[in-house]
Amino acid sequence: MSDEVLIDARTAPEACETMVQVRQGVDALDRALVTLLAERQRYMHAAARIKPSRDVVHDDARIEDVVAKVLAAAGPAGLSPDIAEPVWRTLIDRCIAHELAVWDQTRG
């Protein structure tokens, strides 16, 4: 798998003049995000395979570290922390649940 995520051609947000252009841009980005999230999910599979115990799947210190890194990257990227933080906390929560399910399926 290539490390490069391709994003379909789209009009830059600042250049959009119609809702069709806006929606095409959002749809293109959503497809790219799905690809990236699928790769993130594969890392959860790797974590479930590597972690020695189900008890270490949920790691509060790591959660806060991830959120802090996301917030640090959000500002320079122009992403509101009011969007970034709850999105990542939900993503982390669902990834932990997925990792636990994979752990149980493969080891339980």
What letter would DSSP give residue 6? P
- Most distant CA pair in the chain, distance: 54
Q: How far, CA to CA in Å, does 107 sit from each of 45, 53, 93?
A: 12, 10, 21
pLDDT at 50: 96
pLDDT at 1: 52
Condensed to tens digits (0 to 9), the pLDDT of residues 65-96 reads: 999 999 999 999 999 999 999 999 999 999 99
What is the percentage of the chain residues whose pLDDT exceeds 70?
97
Reported pTM: 0.90
Please give the Cα distance from 36 to 76 (Å, whole number): 20
Please give the Cα distance from 33 to 27 (Å, whole number): 10
